Structure 1
Amino acid sequence: MDESREIALTQMRKSVEKLGSSTQNYGDRTLMRFLIARTMDPDKAAKMFVQWKKWRAALVPLGFIPDSEVQDELEARKIYLQGLSKDGYPVMIVKSRKHFPSKDQLQFKKFVVHLLDKTIASSFKGREIGNEKLIGVLDLQQITYKNIDARALITGFQFLQAYYPERLAKCYLLNMPGFFVSVWRMVSYFLEKATLEKIVIVSNEDEKREFIRDIGEEALPEEYGGRAKLVAIQDVILTPMEN
């Protein structure tokens, strides 16, 4: 790590302490994600980190969201976890046609945390490093107006921006119907430039080939041009992490 980053990390740790919190138990790579998200500004990164800790303590007091707390959302079997891309990123696929707007927004927020945490954890090799990223695939094939849920999309992306900084490697949007374009335009209004730059709308054969190449046939299900089988996220069993 170069000297400027070391200095920024030291300043961030001091700023976190001034805000009445602590960076104890958090490694440099975790803190660096917050610094990168705040253009290497130690004070802004410290504020973001402290807000993240408070948010986790309030919404995720156990440190994770168990299946039992999000059972209604899991029963739809709309989220799939496909192993690692060729670059080592876990691949999460969302089948939008199986999603319907939730009547319980708190449970939906917990569901977003559950799936992001589990997807990230699926890339751990024994223990968390702190800078693991994920790939999201949003499949819009066969959606109808009943499946449209702008609030859910905004919640998911805002959670990534505010509470999972630098965790998103890339997000692919597949099979976008014409009527969804205006919805996506509205959702995009709430996204930061750095997030938008990681989103790829796959709309032609060349882009589809690049999508398959980026993820790799080993992780990509057959229906998307790969060789894998779809695996629902609740069917993925993770081994306990080392301390």
Structure 2
Amino acid sequence: MEKHQETAVSQMRKSVEKLGSSTQNYGAPTLLRFLIARRMDPEKAAKMFVQWQNWRAEFVPLGFIPESEIPDELNARKIYLQGLSKDGHPVLIIKASKHLPSKDHLQLKRFVVHLLDKTIASSIRGREIGNEKLIGILDLQQITVKNIDARALITGFQFLQSYYPERLAKLFLLSMPWFFVSIWRMVSCFLEKATLEKIVIVTNEKERKAFIMEIGEDTLPEEYGGKAKLVALQDVKLSHSPSQN
């Protein structure tokens, strides 16, 4: 860690204490994620960190969201967890054609937390460092108007930006149909510049090859140009519980 980062982390710890909380159980890599998300401003990062702590305590009191609280979302079998990319990031695939807008928005929010926590936990080998990132793939192939759910997309991104800072390494959008372009433009208005810079819309053969190269054929499912089989999120068994993130 560079000197200016060490200084920023030290200042952030003091700012968190002034806000009535503590960073005692968190290492520098975790705090750096919040600092980076707030352009290395210790006070702003401290405020974001405390807000995150309060949110976790209220929304995820058990430390994780059990499958019993999200049955409808899991039954759709629309999320897949494929192992690690070449750079060691867990790969999450969302099949939008299997998604239908939910009337139970609270269950949707819990599902977002469940899938993010489990994806991050799947990358941990031994002890969590605190700076683990994930790669997302949003597969828009064969979607119809009934699958479009701007609110779900916005919720997912808002959670990433507010409660999982610097957890997203990259997000690939595949097979975007023409009628989804206007929806994406609207959703993009809710995204921070740093988030937008991590999103790649794959539109041609060159980009597709780069996408396959970055993920790795051994991890990417066959239907996307790899050699692996799709593995549903609930079929992935972890040897440890999802982290506190």
TM-score, normalized by length of structure 1?
Answer: 0.98
Residue correspondence of structure 1 range 7-18 to structure 2 within 5 A:
7-18=7-18
The letter for the 1-side match of 2:119 is T
Structure 1 residue 187 displacement after superposition: 0.2
Partner of 2:43: 43
Q: Please, which runs of 5 or more residues in structure 1 have no aligned partner? A: none
Partner of 2:89: 89
Structure 1 residue 2 displacement after superposition: 1.6
The letter for the 2-side match of 1:93 is I
Partner of 2:145: 145
Any idea what SS the aligned residue of 1:10 has? Answer: helix
- Work out whether 1:129 is the aligned partner of 2:102: no
Partner of 1:65: 65
Residue correspondence of structure 1 range 1-243 to structure 2 within 5 A:
1-240=1-240
Alpha-carbon distance in 2 for matches of 1:202, 1:17: 44
Any idea what SS the aligned residue of 1:82 has? Answer: strand
Alpha-carbon distance in 2 for matches of 1:3, 1:136: 32
| Structure 1 residue runs of 4 or more that deviate by more than 4 Å after TM superposition | none
**Identity percentage over the alignment?**
77
Structure 1 residue 240 displacement after superposition: 1.8
Any idea what SS the aligned residue of 1:182 has? Answer: helix
Q: Deviations over 1:45-81 (max 9, x none)?
A: 0000000001111110000001111111000000000
Alpha-carbon distance in 1 for matches of 2:240, 2:57: 21
Q: Please, which runs of 5 or more residues in structure 2 have no aligned partner? A: none
Alpha-carbon distance in 2 for matches of 1:239, 1:45: 32
